[in-house]
Structure formats: C-alpha cells, structure tokens
Structure 1
C-alpha cells in the first residue's frame, strides 16, 4: 500500500505540473498540445545536467541546477509554438503536433551524438544519472519521498494564487476570454500569450524531468514519455482548467498509472490474472471514458486557439 501511495504521488506530480502548464497556456489563448514534446526536451536538459554534474556537488546545488536546466530547455522549446502561433498565426494544433514529433526525435539524435562522441561504439539513446538522482530523494522509513512531490504541491498552490488573486493572472485569463476587450484597456495580448506559453514550457519541461526520474536511474529517450503529455491534457480538461480540480484529477489518474507498477503486491489483483499490459492501459482508458462524459459540459477559454488580430473588434 505504501508503494502504491508513493507511485501515485510521483505520477500525480508529473500530471499536475504538465497540466498546469497547459492551463496557463490555454488561459492566455494558445492551445498547447505540444506538451509531450516539451516534456521530452525538458527531461533531456535535466538528464544531461545530472549526467555531467560532479558527484561531489551538494544536493541543493544539484536540485537547483537540474531543475533550472529542465525549465530553461522546456521554455526555449515552447518558444517554437509561441513564435509560430502568436507571431505568424499558424494553426496551433498543427504546431503542437509538430513539437510532439520533433521533441523525441531531436532528443534521440542529441543523446546518440553525445554518446558516440564519448565512445564511438555507443549508439544508444540512454542517459544515466544514478548518483545525481539521489539528491531528489529522502527516505522516511519505507517511504521514498521525492522533493518533486513538494514542488508540485507548492506550484499548484502558487498557480491558484497567480491565476485568481494577482493582476497578472486576471490579465492572462482576460486574453484567453476576450483579447479585444483586454487590448482596449491597455493589456498587451501578445506579451501575455507569450507569458502563458513560456510558463507552459517551464512546467512541461519540469514535468518531463519528474517523469524520467520516477523509479529509474537512467532513461532511454527512444521511449519518449509514454503519452503523459496527452494524459496531462485529459487531466486539464477533466479539471476544467482550474488548478484545484486539476490537482484532484491528477491524483485519480496517477493512482491508475501507479497500479501498473505495484499491482503484483495486491493478492486480489494478482488473482484476476490480468495481463500487465492492461494495467499500463488503465490511465488512458480512464481518460477516454472521462472525456466522453466531461467534454460536453467542459468550458474552455473562449478565445483559445484563435489568432489575435488587433484590427478585429
């Protein structure tokens, strides 16, 4: 049971971070379905930082530098969406799809190039980070606490405060609801949309780092992030673009994802003799079922996905 709670919290942390990233972007008016690709690139930045940091580096320094690397790489990669969608009015769904294809492919090429430069016979797309990963973990009895769990909780609280209690958040949401009205009172819609996209890149990149460090000490980037970017989008929609609801939805989806890791520890589940692949499918099956019932009543920001034209009123 303790292991189930541990995995539920770490997978929920991934979903909270990435779904909140999508929430900020869509509240600004930009649909970001490229979260999958952003997660992979953020994971790449964090993994390479962990690989090359000296083993003697203090834990606090490791945490700070690795998180910064993931966040910055995620933000830079998300700029591709920002420039295409905001400056050139490109179709946001197509750009996001392109990011999802580009991210994993670019990560594999970069990692293989690095590995081959170090050893010409090593053509794998794997990055190992066993030593640096320990900085993020704290043993509390049999429970393995990850600092990422705390990060996700703090960011969830901060997101609620920023969106509903600050001028920045209210202006951001105004740009996703009625950008012309926001512009008429002096709000720079383009800057606010860039802010939303960059925040989504930062949180998506951090979510990718959390995912690849969940229970393993190396990551093969050919595997991507197993559709967690799309699962986070389902969490965001199920949570109705509201931080608190997103947190609760992430716990539900995280529980079903955790079952695939620990179901062998429950006699009742083992007795069912279900194939392990079915447990891996659970969160995605649940997401489809949930979206069938929720999508009709969901209320997305009115202006999301619509390029802003200053001349339109």
Structure 2
C-alpha cells in the first residue's frame, strides 16, 4: 500500500498545482468583486501562448530549459492582456460578469485553435521536452515526507506553493489586501474611504489572468506536452475549488488537493487491484460528482464576497 501511495502522490501533486494557481487567480478577482468564470479560457490562452513560444525557441536553444521558463513568463503576460477584455466589460461597461466570462471561454478556444493552425499548420502544438521532475537533495531522504513531497517533484510546484503563501500574507496582512477585500465586500464604503475601486478591480482581474494563464502553461510543460485547444475543463474545476474552499487560500489548497487526488486515482485505477474492480466511468466522473454535491451542500453557507458580480457605480450611494 505504501508503495502505491508513493507512486500516486507525485502525480496527484502535479495535477493539483495548475488547479491551485488558477483558483488563486479566481480568488483575487472575486475578492475584488469581479466574478470570473473565464478561468478556463484564460488557461487555454496561457497553454497556447506558452506552447507557441516554446515551440519557436526550442530549435534555437537546444538542450536548454530557458525556452520553458520564457514560455511560462510570456503566458502570464498574454494572460494579463487577455483578461483586460473581461476587466473592461465588467468594470467600465458594467456588463454582466457571467456573460463576459462565458464570452472569454468561447473566444479563447476558437481563437487559439485558429491562430495555431495559421502559425504552425496544425491545431496542436507539441513541445519537444517539458520540465523534468527532480529529487530535492537532502530533503528527499527525509522519512515518509521525503518520498511524498520531495521526490519526482517539479520546480513549478514550489513556485506555486510560494505564491500561495505570499497571497495569503498579502490578502490578510497588508493594506493592499484589505483594500482589495473591501472592494469585494463594500465597494461604496471603500470608495468613500479613498480607495480607487476601479483600479483595485483592474489589478485583481489582471492577476487572475496571469495566474490562470500560468496554470494552463504549467499543464503544458509538466504532464500534457502539447496544446490541443483545451484544458479538459480544469478551469471550471478550479472555479469549483474556489467555491468549495470558501474563497480562502488554505481552503482552496485543500479543495484542489482533493480534486487532484481524486482525478489521479481515476486515471491510475486500472493498475491498482483494489480499484480496478470499480467501473472506470464511475471513478473518472467522481471528482465532478463530488463537486456538484459540494456546491449544493455549501450553497447556503457560502462566504462569497458580498459585492461579487455587482457592477460598481461611483456616483451611486
């Protein structure tokens, strides 16, 4: 049993990390008062832009990991720019934020496949080599925790966990975080106190775009290996994790870990004797069924920001 756990754990963490960073992006946006269901589309944009940059650079920079890191950085930049569509529609034009997010999802899928076909001749963009998992010297020898956390791990895993810790500090221990949360709870009161609500919401949506695009690019360079026009609904799963985690960093960590492990078990169930007897369709749908149940259970006790989804009108009191 221990051997099975050691084999599964690194894969579960690898699957969890893109969900975690994307859900964190949604956290910033919704804490500022802007609902962002366009996480899926932003992940697709990040996957596409990262794949295109890496595809172009790997021939010019063989045997180097630089194209991968450049691709991740470019993905974040493109994610920021693409998220401005949602920001302008939601903040300046007072559009329905759910419809705007849906439009982002629809545009992203169609636009990226169109661009991929015109730029590379194919709707799929494959990278020659992604990031390689590694053992962290010293730490991988720690009993129990070493084989689980510090063996066959990606550097992106620790970058995202660092972002999680920094985000928790920023949101709850800094004046910026207090202003951001105020914009999502009582924007009129925040405005009266001198906070530029429009600016704070723009920053939050841009952070959401950067993190979500990074999530899509991390999928590309860790376990996917190619852009194919989608991210298998992981953006929506990240949104569910955000709600399941009650819009709190540690809650989101727990929710994404659960979804990551559930999905990993479903994917490797056929090689685990205890699970191979269960029909595969049940195991593969298990994370999504639990998501629906969780959303129903937590709907009445939801701690969503009070002003999430509500346009801000500076002249209205």
When normalised by structure 2's length, the TM-score is 0.90
Distance in 1 between residues matched to 2:67 and 2:114, nearest whole Å: 25
2:111 is the counterpart of 1:106:
yes
Partner of 1:288: 292
CA distance in 1, matches of 2:239, 2:42: 13
Q: Distance in 2 between matches of 1:170 and 1:230?
A: 27
Cα offset for 1:139? 5.2
Residue 195 (structure 1) shift: 0.5
Residue 306 of structure 1: SS of its match in structure 2? coil
Partner of 2:194: 186
Where has structure 1 moved over 4 Å in runs of 4 or more?
A: 139-143
Pairs within 5 Å for 1:221-240 = 221=229, 224-240=230-246
TM-score, length-normalised on structure 1? 0.91
247, 250, 253: which one pairs with 2:253?
Answer: 247
Q: C-alpha displacement at 1:213, in angstroms?
A: 3.3
Instruction: Report the Cα distance in structure 1 between the residues aligned to 2:134 and 2:123, rounded to whole angstroms.
Output: 29
Contact 2:246 2:303 in 1 (8 A): yes
The CA deviation at 1:151 is 1.6
Q: Does 1:138 align with 2:142?
A: no
In structure 2, C-alpha distance between the alignment counterparts of 1:129 and 1:78, rounded to whole Å: 25
Matched, 1:162 2:166: no
Quick check: 64-73 or 187-196, which moved more?
A: 64-73
> 1:52: which partner in 2?
56
Q: Which residue of 1 aligns with 2:40?
A: 36
Partner of 1:205: 213
User: Partners of 1:150 and 1:130 in 2: how far apart?
Assistant: 23
From 61, 64, 67, the counterpart of 1:62: 67
> How far did 1:281 drift?
1.6
CA deviations over 1:235-282 (Å, ceiling 9, x no partner): 00111110011111110011111123211221111133x13x333222
Q: What is the SS of the residue equivalent to 2:212? A: helix
Structure 2, unaligned stretches of length 5 or more? 141-146
CA distance in 2, matches of 1:252, 1:111: 34
Could you say which residue in structure 2 is the equivalent of 1:71?
Answer: 76
3-state SS of 2:125 partner: strand
1:11 aligns with 2:7: no
Q: Is 1:128 equivalent to 2:126 in the alignment?
A: yes
Whether the 8 Å CA contact 2:43–2:235 is kept in 1: the answer is yes
Among residues 58, 67, 89, which one is paired with 2:94 in the alignment?
Answer: 89
CA-based RMSD of the aligned residues comes to 1.7
Distance 1:25 1:296 in 2: 22
**8 Å CA contact 2:61, 2:67 repeated in 1:** no
TM-superposed CA distance for 1:56, in Å, is 3.0
Whether the 8 Å contact between 1:47 and 1:127 is mirrored in structure 2 is yes
Question: Contact 1:13/1:152 (CA < 8 Å) preserved in 2?
Answer: yes
Question: 2:231 is paired with a residue of what secondary structure?
Answer: coil
- Among candidates 210, 215, 224, match of residue 216 of structure 1: 224
Q: In the alignment, what sits opposite 1:299?
A: 303
Partner SS, residue 25 of structure 2 = helix
Deviation at 1:217, TM superposition (A): 2.4
- Residue in structure 1 matched with residue 144 of structure 2 by the alignment: none
